[in-house]
Every structure is written in structure tokens, then in C-alpha cells.
Structure 1
């Protein structure tokens, strides 16, 4: 037994040690601690903490971000202060401090367990949305008062420490959107006080949702999306009686939805979409009286929707992309709280309840992609709140109810591919808020009512494949927002009103398969954005207007099966047409040279008067038919001779120097870099043998100067003050003129004249990344080390545009062909013809243009027509997937309606599941990785982490994508990890 005096002194010593550790600094010392943290651990680049001085009257309690209670500092809140630096552990020297909030700054580095140990007296700690890396710190057992811990949106990796399961008072734990790659931390189920658990968007190893999850009896919010969870949802989920939000979406969960889910008495939202759940929906949904939203889309569910689910006060019901069969239950019609009904893309049968909507304030109904039949319920808009009506791809029949014509709240209608018949209610044509009307492929009849002129916001009028008749009424010309008109395959007749050409936003006009007569309007100068014109299978007569050749963006022109006469206008050769068809008319004369090849031969047939010197399927041209062509050629030769004589005369009279001087004065030269050549040296070398590329806006030349320097020269097509060419030219100049960054191509100088625009860049020896990856440079293979450096350099270039340029610049066309490589394969972003500075007044106009390249365009562009920095992030994610897989964004290997993003997510999900069963975690990665790299096992682990970054960058929602600054930090963190492994 210890001596009593020894025990006494031991207790006294411990007490002294504890008092030394826990005692708070004096007010003077508190000021000193705060200033030391500011000066040594934080970088206040915006001087937001300028009032942190000991000269203020009530220092530190009157300082920005500091809160006191009776002159005692209890809270420091520096959220969104744009602070740099490391974790300010010195703040925790203030033992009275209870709350520390550093959300949304630029803090970086690791957080050690030793530094965090000083913060054990905190009640809440928020370090979210920073750039911390490394492992999560071990908090230890002495954090007895901590109730809220938020470390989300950082770059933490590795496992969740077991100490996270030992917080006795913790209520909120948020680790969302990090790089945590351990297994699911089952020990978190020991946190009996927890009300909010958020772990979503972490690349965990495939794990099961533990059966102990039911121990969290106080849990209200469970956000476990995108965690590689597999296996079944445990029955104990029903023990979470306080749960209000259950989100297990975007995992690999399988099996049936447990019947115990009906015990979640307080739940308001259940998100189970994008899993592999099977079986039928349980009948126990009748107990969920608080449920407002339920989404079980993209699973493998079968059976009928239970009546119990339909009777709930839902705001949103989404069961799309399953294999559910059965009918929509009658009880839906008696639900007074039904706000949003979405059951699209299933196998539902039967009819919709006739009283649906009569007792509820429906706003949004989508039952598309099923096998529903019968008539449309007449009371869907009974309370005048319905905004979206989507019933396409079903078997609905009968007439459209008259009450729909009185639904002034409707703005979006898609009821195509059914068997609806009769006339549309008159009011249906003139709904004031209508923006989208799609009634294609039904059996509707009657004419378009003149009151359609009231639908001034209508952008798409899609009524093809019906039995409509009457004329193309001029009232349609009042709809100035129209982008697409598709009235094809009806019985419309009469002449087209000339006012149709005033629709300046029109991109597509499809009138094929009707009985229109008269001539094709020729005053088409307002159709500046028209890409598709289909007037085939009508009775149009007269000549093809030569003015159609001025529609610069027209790519689809079909005038076949009409009564057109005269010659094919030579002006059409100016168009860059993907589809050209004038067959089965009464055209005559010589086929213009551009169309005089076998590719267009079928598009010329059925015109007995056409002749061609080359096409076998057309008669050869006689001298009489060719006489006009010879006259044109003769006139051209005579003109050349006269010009030559004039040129010689100028030389003889020594006026050529004066002529050259005038021409030089008419050129506008802007120099951005120091060069040892002039515009003449460049312009004289723009000959065909120097062409190295041909794009949508111009030709690219490689020019070697006498000085030995090689430059790349872009000469733009078709200059006009209002043309797209000028937009591309000035976008390049505006974006690149003042930029100096190692990963952005250098613009050396520009030269513009009355009829041309030229941009001169530094030449990069290895061409574009697209060429190297996809076979443009035969025999060249990039190893993983080079691909990683290309990814990091490209990310740095984009981060510079987004975060360091004032105003910020959005590239809008990030793709592998616009990433150039120098002799060391260092990347440089190029082609800024679509780039935009974000604070310009004309952003709305510019952002409404088609921007980007197919396969790289972010999904939100389809419905917002707005491109932001997050759109560039999506495109960069696609480039990362290209670097990893070596495949093009739209490789035929992916199948129909698939792109590299969908393919990669599908393969990634499959191999994660396979690795769970086989234990070969990296073996399944082979399908995603370009085999030509010959990647080692260590490199495959790196590739897996870059794949995680790519999948986060290509998230469907822009809000879920990181900033490019964050992406750079993620890639740099991986580089540091690689270096540490190499040293080890």
C-alpha cells in the first residue's frame, strides 16, 4: 500500500497540473494569443481583421468575429473571410472559448492530433469548406463538451479515427465531401446523442450499412449518399423513430426495402434513388403520416405502387427508371396535400384516377414512360396551380379536357406519343405563361387558333404527327421567343406568311409532310441562328431563294419532294451543310461544284433538268447547258488578266510602295509579347502547305520565321462586323491579351484588316492532348506520370482564370483538343473564342449562345443555357476521364445515349461491388484504365484517386462540383502523397 503522504502529494500534483492546463489567460494574455494567431497562423490578405489591435476600447470583445460574455471570449466566428494559412490552434489556448467557426476560407495543411487537443473545451468546431489535407486528427477522449463537429468539404483522406465514436455529447457530425477512403465507421453508432449524421460523397471502400445503425435513436438527419454502401438496408432502420430525412441514394444497396421503414413515424423525406433495390414497395408506408417526398428512382423495383403510399400527403413522388408494374391507385385522387406526383419511366398500367387533382393543389405531374391508358383526369388543374403537365409515352386516349384550357398557371406541357384525339380546347393555345408545348404523335385535329399570339413566352411549338389543318397563321409571328417550330406531318396548307422570317430566335423550322404552297420566303436576314430548315414533302413552287446561302449557321437543308424550279443557287456553296436534299423537284442547270460529288448524289435525284460533268446518275451537261458556266469562267479569267495588267502598271509607275503603305495603314496590329518579326513575315506564309488544322472558325497554320522561331497562326473565316468571326476574334483578344500564366497559351500579336482576322500564338511542338490521346500522333503513348502532370497543369490554368483574373474568365470550351502540349508535354489551355468575362453587361446574350463541344457540355446547360465556372469544372472532369481511359467522350463503345461520364460511373460502381466479393480492389479498375499506359499497382491507386476527383467534377448538380482551386489542391495533395510514398 502507498504511503499516505505520497498519495496526498500525488493528488496535489495532479490538481496543480490540471489547473495549469485549464486556467484561462488574463485579458491581456487573451489579446496576445489572438494577435499571435492572426500574425503567425493566419494570412489576412483582405485586411478583414484590421481592427484586431490592442488600442480599441473594449479589446478584444469589440473585434470583428469575436463574441464575449461578460468580457470573456466565448466565440470566434471568421466564416467567409478569405483567410489563408494553417489551422489556428492558438485560438484554443483561450479556455473560455466555446465556439470556433472558420467555414469557407482558404486554410490548408494538416491538422495534427496534438494541435487539436488544445480545443477540448469547445462546444462547436466548424472547419468546413477549406483545403485541409491528410488524415483526420484523433480528438481523444477529453472532448466531453463537443456537440457539433463539421469538417466537410476539405481534402481529408484515410480512415475515420475510432475516437470519433467516443464523443459523449456530440449531436452533429458532418464529414461530407472529403476523400475519406476507409470502411464505413460502424463505431459512430455508439454516439447515442447524435441527431445529425452526414458522411455523403466520400470514396469509402465498399461497406455495408451496419445493423447497429438502429442504436441512433435520436437521429433526425441521415445523409449517407454516394458512399459505396452495398448489401441490404437493415431492418433496424425502423428504430430511428426521430428520423426526418433518410438519404441513402447513389449507393449499391440491394434487396428489398425493409417493411420496418414504416416505423419512421417522423420521416418527411426518403431518398433511395440510384441503388439496386428490388422487390415490391412495402405496404407499411401507410404509417408515414409526415412523408412529403419519396424518391426510389433508378432501382429494380417490381410490383404495384401500394395504396398506402399513394394516400400519403406527398409533395414529391419519384419512382422513375424502375421496373414497377401495376396501376396508379384511386386513393391518389383524395389526397388533399398532393403537390407533386412523379412516377415516370416505370411500367405502370391502368388509368389515372378521374378525381386526381380535384382535392389537392397539384403543381407538377409527370407520369411519362409508362403503359397508362384511358382518358386524362379532367380536374388536374382544378385549383389553378398546375404548372407542369407531362404524360408522354403512354396510351392515353380521348379528348383533352376543356378545363385544361382554363389552366392559366400551366407553363410546360408534354403530352406526345399517346392516342389523344379531337380538337384542343381554345384556351389551350393561348395560356399566357406557356413556354413549352409538345403535342406530337397523337390524333389531334382542327386548326391553330389565332389567340396563340397571347402565348408570348412560348419557345417550342411541337405539334407534329397529328391531323391538324388550316394555314400557318400570321399570329404565330408574334411569338418572338420561338426557338423551335415543328408542325411536320399534318395537313396544313396555304402559303407561308412573309413575317415568319422575323422570328430572329428561330433555330429549327420543320414543316415537312404538309400541303403548303407558294414560294419560299427570301427575306431571311433575321434568321441568324437558324440551323435546321426542313420544307420537304409539300407543294412549294418557284425558285430556291439565293438568300438561303447567307444563313451562316445553317447545317440542315431539306427541300425535297416539292415543285421547285430553276437552278440550284451557287450561293448555297457557302454553307457548311451536314444534310442537303433537293431531290424530286423540277430543278435544272449545272450542279454547283461543291455538290457535284457522289456524297450528294441521292440528294439530287428526281430533277430531270439537272446535269453534271462528273456524277454518273445525272445526265452530262450539253454545251448549251454549260454555256452559262463557261461565260462565268471567261469573265473570271478576263478579270484576272485585267487585275494583273493593273498590278504591272503600278509597278512600272513606281506607285506600288505607296499602295503597300496604304494597305499597311489599313491593318490594325496589336502586340502582346516581344517578337522579332512583323505582320508581313506572317501573312506571306499563310499558304496551304503550312496548314496544320481546320476548325469551325478558321484555319491554323504552322509558320517558321527566318529568326528560327515557329509560331501558330489562326486565320478566321468570313469576316463581318456582325458575324460570329468577330465574336471569336475579340473573345480571344480580350481573354488572352493580359494573361500571363505558364498553363495558358501565349498570344503574341493580332492583325486585322477589312476582310480578315489573324491571331499569332506561341507554337507548341506536341500539338493537342486530343491528338496524342486519340491517335492523331501515331505511335505516341503518354505514361501515367505525364498524364498526371497534364491534369495538374490544366487545372492550374483553369483555376487562374476562375480565381485570379479580375473579372473571372470562363473558358466555355474546355476539351482535350484545346489543351496544347509543349516539347516537355506541359499543358497550355488554348482556343478562347467562346470565353466570357463574368461581369460583362452582355452576359445574358452571350450565354444564350450554344457554347462548348458535344460530350464536354455540363448537363445544366440544356435547361439553363447558362455556363458558369462550374461548367468548366464539369468539362475538366471529362478531360480527366479521357486521360484515365484513353477514350473519347462519345466513344461508340459506350452504346446509345451513353457518354464517358455515364460509362465511367457505371463501370466504377460495378468494380466497387466486385471488389467487395473478390477482394481484388484494383483488378476491376482495368476496364477504366487505358492499357497502353502500363500502369503499375502504385499508379493504379493514384489513378483511382484521380478517378474520384473526375467523378466529383462531373457531378450532375453544379453545387456538388468543387471549385477549380479546390481541384488543384486535391491533385497537389495526391502529389504530396505520392512523394511521401516514394521517399518511404
Structure 2
């Protein structure tokens, strides 16, 4: 019968199409194991939903199934009744084909967090019923098609975290059904916000963060009466905040931070009766804070780093829901409302960097919610309110650089959850109360530049988490308590300029993490403990202007000290020989009994006798040296003749495969592979520096054949058939041409030995240089250049090689530096080409990587792909920013990534950045640090592709090149200037 549909046949067809879909993808986790081709009823299969009659497939949800391969549009669109397709959080790759427009009944399409590339198909808008489109977290590039303005029923479009360029098309303003527009975090070309977006009268969420927007906020936005969330942060918008925004009567959240907006905030905030969050921080806004803004049911108000002036409206204290108030870096003055915190459950209060005066309100913690109290760099006076002593929710207290005085209430010392207590540069008096024993979470105790007196209580030794105790420039007296040696986490102890006396505790070897010890300008006496020589991480030691006596401990010469000062004590005896160097000449002044080779240290005795012994010793040394040199020369020539004779037998057996035009032969290489030219040795072989007859140098890596054990990758392959694989892979790598990948000149092979000849890198590896005593040579511009170079090299491997190449062992030791500190990615060599099939790119289930660089998902997937490389590169970025190794005994069981995250959270960015870097680059360093943290996200889907990493780094560099500074009366390109150091006060 015409039009008759056989139900069984319909089910069978649906099952057949789904089975074809299964075969088109890789399914390493067997997520589709229930999809049995012998079962003609797919409605019971995992992720499949059928209609009410159970006759055809209507929904397919395979999110987070670890599926690999290209998007099979031609198969899926045969499911004619399919209305919802969700494949989010997989590894769907290749491009999104234009055939997607054949899925005519689709209402919901979610392909977020995959590996899709190429342009957005203009034909997507031909889907007449589509309401939900989510392509977040892919690698789509090119502009948003103008055709997207033809969507008829679209309500949600999300293109966040892609590589889209062009500008935001005005045609999007034609999608009048749209409720959510999410385009954030794309590298669009600089362009304005299309005023046509004001036509989206049904819009509820507009998310355009970091879209490279320039120009003014359109007045047409006032027509968006249903808008709940407006986010235009991290752009280059300028001009004033338009008054039309106060006509968006449904707004609950407005975020305009990190722009260049100026002028005063408009009147009319009282219209926004639903407003909960306002963040216009880090702009150039001026004037007074509108009083009517404070009448709203605000929960969060962030106005920091603008130019607001005048007094804070009293009405802010009457906002019943306010839990976050951040005002730092403005020009606000006057007193804080006396009842601030009485009616509002404030959790975070930051008024730092203003000109507030008067007393700290006693009501700040009346709701028992206050966690952060930041009031540094103001003119506050009076005492700390005793009521804050009962605020057990407090975690972070910074009251430095004010005019506060009086004694600190005893209960403040013992708050159990506070990890930072900073009272620097005030006029506090009294002593540290014994109640400090209750501060079990305290990590940072900063009391410098006050009038504290009395002895340091024994209870200080109970603070097992204390990492820094700075109490310099006070009037502490008495001796250091013996319990202070119990502080095993202590990294900084600074008590210089006090009146401390007595002797130092003897058991200081427990200070295994002590990095800085400054006890200068006190009255401490006795011997310097010998145990100081066992403090392996100590690099700042200042004991000057005290009353120490006895000898300088011999073990001190084993430390790597950047600063040593023991001047003006009563030390005596012989100076340890390794400390009798020019660099320490001023470190021992004013110790009349101390003997050394310098003038002024202990007068010479029996000079004639010493001169006679000296002459005899010099004679013996000269004779021994001559005999030794003659012996070495004789041995060298005998050894070289032996090696030449040995090689002359085997040269005919070598096979040379070149990848560039060579100016040398294999003979020239083979003749120089001796121990004299050895520059490195690893688990996969040895590396030699060979200087050619033309004066150029090459690096030769010698790998052993037969049974090849590549310990770095964990592969163990036997010879025979694998020799062909070696040749094919080396030939592939030999075709790579990129300025940031070490050039492979050629390979030389025999049955038992394989040589790879690379260009020579004079400055060695980044890891060796960064973590050696020469790490200070790497200033921030050099480190930034290295980061960009390495990123471009990895991006080439991932995105421009066919097939793609996954490095699998990205680390600082595999990034080599040329004479200008240009970076080259190296050692991605053998067996690292990504396996490809007709179904697309696979990840590799092999052991790969080095400790500290391995992505966390490797522990449970045992697979590596491009996202694994990106994680490892993120660790390299953190190394460059922090100057620390990926694994360090100081971290305990943590690695560098976890240490950075925890330190940022507890102490702030200043404790993360390498102290050897100039602080004027702080803003740029923070931006690169953020990129490193994105790359080391625990979830692979949240890590940006290498192509995006390169763009973010380059954009940051182009921003800096546009900065100009005034130098010698002329404008010059920005590099670094003391005047540019505008570090955040909070």
C-alpha cells in the first residue's frame, strides 16, 4: 500500500544507521558496547531515546563517551526524526561538514568540548527548527557567517573558546528569538559591538567577554528589557557607561571590568530593582559612587581600580544581601559607615588603596560571615575592634600601611582559620599574646615596622603551618624561644632591627625549608650553630651587628648563598676556605679576631717561614703538572690512533639518509664520536658535539639499534621488521621545516647503531639553564620569547603536520636554546607520529612523559594525545614563571602545578613569581601565568589548543609593543621601566 511504513523495517533502518555511526568512530572505552548489530531494536541502546511509539530514534546523547573520529553527518542525518544530538566532551575531530543541514528536524545540537576545526558551516542556519546550538570549546576558525542571521527559531547560540576571527556580524541582530548569546574568549579582530544586537528583545544572557571589542557600548541596549546577565568584560571598550543600561529593568548581573570606560556612572540605578552583582572594576571611571546604587538588593559590588572619589554612601550598609564589596585602588575618603556589616552578611571586604580614615567599624563581622578583611594603604586610625576577635570565619587579614595603634586584642592572635595576618607599618604596641597558640592555620605573620615589645612567646612554636614570620623594626626583646625550631615549614624568619638577646637555638637543622634568615641589628650572642651548614635551601643569611663569637661554621661554605653578612660581631679563628672569596669580602668586616687572606682580616704571622714553605709547594706543583700534561698528551695520541684504526674497518657499513643539503660526509661525523666531544648522556643514548671542517658545529645523538630501548617513551621494540618503521618515521621527521623545531640534518645507520645529526644549540637546554646558577641570565623578555617560540613549534606539530605529531615528552630539558636564546623543540624523534586510520586520529596507549609533566588523565586512560602535550607545555610555562622545577622536595607530595594553585590561593601571585625577575614585568608575567594555568587544567577539554595558546601569547606581545615610555625626553618602545611597576596593593 502506498505510504505504508513497516514498523519493524523502520527500527531496523535506525539500528543500521546507528551501527554505521558506531563503526565510523573509535570507541576505546567500549561506551557503545550495548549497540549490537544483531539487535534490531536500538531504543534500548545506551544514549538512544525513541519516540512514544518506540518506532524511531528522536534523541542521541553520547556526551563524555571518549569517542574519536570525524563528525558523521551523512549517517546521522538519515535518522529523519532525530531532534536532539549531544556529543559533547568527546574527541570528535576534523571539520563540521555542510551536510549537517540535512538533519532537518534537529532542535538541539551540542558538539561542545571536542576537537572540531575549520570554518563554521554557513548551512547551519538552514536547519529550520534549531533552537539550541552549542559549539563551545572547539578549534573553529574564520569569521561567524553572516548567514547565521537567518536562523528562524534559535534561542541559544554558544561559540565560547574557539579560534574565531573577523568581527561580530550585525546580522546576529536578526535572530529575534534568541535568548542566550555566548561568544566569549575568541580572538576576533578589533571591532565594535553591533548596535543591531539591541534588536534581540528576547535576550536574557549576553556573554561577550574577551572578544576584542572596541568602541562604545551601544545605546540600543536599553531595549533589552528581558536581559538578566550582561558581560562585556576584558575588552577595549571606551567612553562612558550609557544611561540606557539603567533601562534594562530585568538585569541581575552586569560585568564591565577590564575595559577603558571613563566618566561618571549614570543616574537611574534605582530602576534596576533586581540587580545583584555590579563589577565595573579596572576602568577609568570617576566621580562619586551613586547613592541609589547602594539602595539595590546587591550581593556583590566590585568597583576597584577606578578613580572614584568622595565618601562611600552610608546607604551601602543597609543593603541586606551584600556579601562582596571590593573598592580598592580608588580615591575614596572619609569614614566607612559605622554599621557596615550589621545588616549585610559581608564575606569579602576590600577597601585597600584609598584614603579612608577613622576607626574600623566594630560591626563588620556581626553576621559571622567575614572571611577576608583587606584595608591596607589607607589612613585608618585607632585600635582594632575587640569584636573582630570573635570573628572565627576570618581567613585573611591585611591592615598594613595605616595609622592604627594600641594593643592587638588577644583573641585576634588566636583566630583559628586565619592564614594571613598582616599588620605592617602601623603603630601597634604591646606584645604577641600567648593566645597565638590557637592560630593553627596561620601561614604568614607579618608584623614589621610597629612598636611591638616583649619577648616572642614560646607558643609561636606551636604553629606548624607557619611559613613566614616577619617582625623586623620593632622592639622585641629577650631570646628566641626554643620552640621556634619546631616550625618545619618556616621559609622566612626576619627579625632584624629589634632588641633580641641570648643565644640561637641549637637544633636549627629542623628548618629544612628556611630560605631567608635575617637577625641583623640585635644583641644576640654565643656561637653560630654548626647546623646552619645543613640548611640546604638557605640563600639569605644576615647576622650582622650582633654579639656572635667563636668560629664561622665550616658547613656554611656548602650553601648556595645569594647574600651573606656576618659583619660587626666578635667572630674569630680561620675563615672557611670557600668563603674566603672576593664576593664575600664585605661579609665579615668588623670581626677583629677573624683570619683570612684579605687585608684587614688577622695580621700575617711568620711571613718568612710561610714564604719558604710556599716556594717548596709551588716547585712540587709545577713538576707534577709537567709530568701529568706529558702523560695526557701521550695517551691522547695513542687513543686517537686506536679509534681511527677501529673506525676505518666499519665506515663502509654505514648508510646515510640526508634531509637537507649537507656540507659534510658521514666520515667527518664518525671521526669525532669520542669521549672528548661528549656533551650529554641519557637513557636513549649519548649526545656529541662535532665541529666540522667548515667551522660549524652539529649535535649527534647516538641511539643503539638491535633491541631499541627508548626509556623515555617506555617502548621496547625488537629489530628486524621495526628497522623499516624507524626509517619511515625518521624520513617523516626529516621533512619537518620550522624555525622552532631543531633541524634534523641526516641519519646514519648500521645494524647495531643509529645516529641522528641535529643542528647544534650553543645555550643547551632550557631546563639546565633555568635551574642552574645562570638562571638569572633569563630575564622576563627572554623567557617570554622562549615561551612563544616553543608554543609555535608545538603548534606546528599539532596543527600543520600531516599526519599530526604528538611530542609525548614536552619538558624544559627538551627545549633547546640557540645563541640568541631562540627556542627549538627537540627530542620528539622516533615513533612519535600519531597513528592514523581511515577513521581519523587516534591517541596512543603507550607509556610516555616525564615525572612532573604527565597530564593527570594519563593515570586512568593510559593514553596520550595533543591535550597531553598542552598540559606538559603548561608545566614548562609555570617553570619559566616560578623558576622552580616541576618536582621539588619543598613541594612534599605535590607537584609544581598543585604548588602554584595552592600558593596563589593562600598567599597571592607575589609568592609564585620567580624572585629573580624584575617586578616591573609583573602584569605581563601574570598574564602568561594564567595561560599556563589554562594549559594545566585537570580536564583536557578545558585546555586550549596549541594554536590558541600561540595566539594568546602573540596578542599579549603585540599589546606590549604598542606601549610607549618616555625616556631621555623621547618616546621609546616599552620594555621595562620603574614607573610602570603598578603592582596591585591587594
1-side partners of 2:44 and 2:367: how far apart?
A: 54
Q: Secondary structure at the match of 1:467?
A: coil
2-side partners of 1:229 and 1:863: how far apart?
A: 41
Gaps of 5+ in 2: 621-673, 692-696, 703-709, 718-728, 734-740, 743-755, 779-784, 830-848, 860-873, 902-912, 952-986
1:497 corresponds to 2:481: yes
Aligned to 1:828: 827
Name the stretch that deviates more: 820-829 or 152-161.
820-829
1:255 corresponds to 2:239: yes
1-side partners of 2:66 and 2:97: how far apart?
A: 23
Q: CA deviation at 1:261?
A: 1.3
Aligned to 1:45: 28
1:190 corresponds to 2:174: yes
How do residues 567-966 of structure 1 correspond to structure 2 at under 5 angstroms?
567-614=551-598, 616=599, 618-619=600-601, 621-623=603-605, 765-766=760-761, 768=764, 790-792=793-795, 816=815, 827-828=826-827, 835=853, 838=856, 852-854=879-881, 895-899=920-924, 902=927, 958=937, 966=945
Q: CA deviation at 1:413?
A: 0.8
Aligned with 2:146 (options 159, 162, 180): 162
Aligned to 1:401: 385
Gaps of 5+ in 1: 1-15, 639-684, 694-699, 714-732, 746-760, 777-781, 842-846, 874-887, 905-949, 973-984
Pick closer, same or farther for the CA change 1:381–1:795 going to 2, 3 Å. farther
1:936-969 Cα deviation digits (max 9, x unpaired): xxxxxxxxxxxxxx99667699589966683379
Pick closer, same or farther for the CA change 1:241–1:865 going to 2, 3 Å. farther
Q: Secondary structure at the match of 1:30?
A: helix
Contact 1:793 1:826 (C-alpha < 8 Å) held by counterparts: no
CA RMSD of aligned residues (A): 5.1
Q: CA deviation at 1:109?
A: 1.1
1:213 corresponds to 2:208: no
Q: CA deviation at 1:359?
A: 1.0
Aligned to 2:667: none
2-side partners of 1:55 and 1:179: how far apart?
A: 43
2-side partners of 1:161 and 1:389: how far apart?
A: 49
2-side partners of 1:629 and 1:496: how far apart?
A: 47
Aligned with 2:502 (options 506, 511, 518): 518
Q: Secondary structure at the match of 1:188?
A: helix
1-side partners of 2:216 and 2:939: how far apart?
A: 26
Aligned with 1:94 (options 75, 79, 87): 79
Q: CA deviation at 1:591?
A: 3.1
Pick closer, same or farther for the CA change 1:414–1:961 going to 2, 3 Å. farther
Pick closer, same or farther for the CA change 1:866–1:205 going to 2, 3 Å. farther
2-side partners of 1:416 and 1:491: how far apart?
A: 18
Pick closer, same or farther for the CA change 1:575–1:892 going to 2, 3 Å. closer
Pick closer, same or farther for the CA change 1:530–1:256 going to 2, 3 Å. same
1-side partners of 2:268 and 2:853: how far apart?
A: 54
Contact 1:231 1:254 (C-alpha < 8 Å) held by counterparts: yes
Aligned with 1:531 (options 515, 518, 524): 515
Larger relative contact order (Cα-Cα within 8 Å, sequence gap ≥ 6) = 2
1:480-507 Cα deviation digits (max 9, x unpaired): 1111111211111111122211211111
Q: Secondary structure at the match of 2:428?
A: strand
Q: CA deviation at 1:623?
A: 2.5
1:460 corresponds to 2:487: no
Aligned to 1:295: 279
Contact 2:140 2:162 (C-alpha < 8 Å) held by counterparts: yes
Q: Secondary structure at the match of 1:895?
A: helix
Pick closer, same or farther for the CA change 1:970–1:894 going to 2, 3 Å. closer
Aligned to 2:129: 145
Name the stretch that deviates more: 562-571 or 830-839.
830-839
Aligned with 1:67 (options 46, 49, 53): 49
Aligned with 1:119 (options 80, 88, 103): 103
TM-score if structure 1 supplies the norm length? 0.70
Q: Secondary structure at the match of 2:400?
A: coil
Contact 1:214 1:236 (C-alpha < 8 Å) held by counterparts: yes
2-side partners of 1:439 and 1:775: how far apart?
A: 36
Contact 1:53 1:59 (C-alpha < 8 Å) held by counterparts: no
Name the stretch that deviates more: 228-237 or 787-796.
787-796
Pick closer, same or farther for the CA change 1:75–1:867 going to 2, 3 Å. farther
2-side partners of 1:396 and 1:63: how far apart?
A: 68
Contact 2:807 2:828 (C-alpha < 8 Å) held by counterparts: no
Q: Secondary structure at the match of 1:324?
A: strand
Q: Secondary structure at the match of 1:283?
A: coil
2-side partners of 1:891 and 1:544: how far apart?
A: 29
Q: CA deviation at 1:294?
A: 1.4
Pick closer, same or farther for the CA change 1:701–1:563 going to 2, 3 Å. farther
Pick closer, same or farther for the CA change 1:627–1:206 going to 2, 3 Å. farther
Q: CA deviation at 1:825?
A: 5.8
1:858-904 Cα deviation digits (max 9, x unpaired): 99x9999965879999xxxxxxxxxxxxxx999989935344565x9
Q: CA deviation at 1:552?
A: 0.4
Q: CA deviation at 1:970?
A: 8.5
Contact 1:182 1:204 (C-alpha < 8 Å) held by counterparts: yes
1:141-183 Cα deviation digits (max 9, x unpaired): 6422110011121111112112211111110001111111111
1-side partners of 2:402 and 2:921: how far apart?
A: 24
1-side partners of 2:497 and 2:446: how far apart?
A: 14
Q: Secondary structure at the match of 1:131?
A: coil
Name the stretch that deviates more: 137-146 or 786-795.
786-795
Q: Secondary structure at the match of 2:557?
A: helix
How do residues 15-414 of structure 1 correspond to structure 2 at under 5 angstroms?
26-40=10-24, 42-56=25-39, 59-69=41-51, 70-71=53-54, 72-89=56-73, 90-113=75-98, 115-139=99-123, 142-414=126-398
Pick closer, same or farther for the CA change 1:590–1:626 going to 2, 3 Å. farther
Contact 1:24 1:93 (C-alpha < 8 Å) held by counterparts: no
Q: CA deviation at 1:333?
A: 1.3
Q: CA deviation at 1:690?
A: 7.2
TM-score if structure 2 supplies the norm length? 0.70
2-side partners of 1:432 and 1:775: how far apart?
A: 43
Q: Secondary structure at the match of 1:512?
A: coil
Q: CA deviation at 1:133?
A: 1.2
Contact 1:86 1:108 (C-alpha < 8 Å) held by counterparts: yes
Aligned to 1:647: none
Aligned to 1:978: none
2-side partners of 1:37 and 1:547: how far apart?
A: 69
